[in-house]
Amino acid sequence: MNILRLKIFTTFAVVFLSLISPSLSQIEAGTSVQIAIMGVPGDEKGKIDAMYPVSESGTINLPFIGTMRAAGLRPEALAASIQNAYKSAEIYTDPTIQVVWTTEAGGVRSQVVHVGGFVRKTGPIAFQRNLTIWQAVQAAGGPSEFGSLRRVKLYRSGRTQTFDIENAQFKQIPLQPDDTLEIPEKNIWGG
């Protein structure tokens, strides 16, 4: 009987606290969020699952859909917004997004570039001034045996560009914080 009262009291306390202080659970600029996606093919999961810094302007930059507002939202509201964005853009048909907000001062505050696709190690890499596309791919361990450097996609602020970074003129393209690179799979001609 005491366990039942404790559960009821705990549930009431959680609901009450969330009602009187909604700002306590809202994402803030300068922190970070951990995003995980489910309901997509395994190789696609690695392109999205990562820790994303919330910029000072309150946004995050996601692969394929670009910049989204995060600050001021609760994690579940951001998750719903991300799910809708991927569905609306017809990138994924039925994704399930999980967002965990990192409030610690030691959370990811540094600027990063996201590298995904057919590289040896997907995920964020630390952004440094004058970082180039070639350097970012090499920091991710280089292309896997199935990765093509001839059609590397750069996602920046909702726009996509494709580069052949086997060509020397494209190796030196500078990156910006929160850029996303996708290394595609080789086609039947090896490119």
The pLDDT, as a whole number, for residue 4 is: 55
Domain count along the chain: 2
pLDDT of residue 105: 41
Residue 76 lies in a domain: yes
Quote the pLDDT of residue 182. 94
d(CA 91, CA 66): 12
Stated as kind and residue range, the H or E segment containing 8 is helix 2-20
Does residue 19 sit within a domain? no
pLDDT at position 169, please? Answer: 92
At 164 the pLDDT is 95
Q: Of 68, 102, 136, which closes a domain? A: 102
127 in the same domain as 89? no
Q: Are residues 132 and 154 in the same domain?
A: yes
- Decide if 29 contacts 37 (C-beta within 8 A): no
* Cα gap 166→147, rounded to integer Å: 12
Calpha distance 181→191 (Å, rounded): 17
pLDDT of the residue at 24: 47
pLDDT given for residue 31 in this prediction: 81
Res 167: pLDDT: 93
Q: What residues contact 38, with CB distance under 8 A and at least 6 apart?
A: 45, 95, 96, 97, 98
Tell me, yes or no, whether 2 lies in a domain. no
Residue 16 domain-assigned (yes or no): no
Q: Say which CATH number the domain at 149 has.
A: 3.10.560.10
CA distance linking residue 31 with residue 33, whole number of Å:
7
Query: Is the model's pTM score more than 0.85?
Result: no
Give pLDDT tens digits for 95-125.
888 888 765 544 444 578 899 999 999 888 8
Same domain, 32 and 88: yes
pLDDT in tens, the chain (191 residues): 556 564 555 544 444 444 443 444 788 887 888 898 888 887 888 888 888 888 888 899 899 898 999 999 988 899 999 999 999 999 998 888 888 876 554 444 457 889 999 999 988 888 888 899 999 999 999 999 999 999 999 999 889 999 999 999 999 999 998 899 999 999 887 66
Residue 33 contacts residue 102 (beta carbons within 8 Å): yes
92 and 117 assigned to the same domain: no
For 47, left (φ over 0), alpha (ψ -120 to 50), or beta?
alpha
Determine phi and psi for 25, rounding to 5 degrees: -110, 15
Domain region containing 168: 112-183
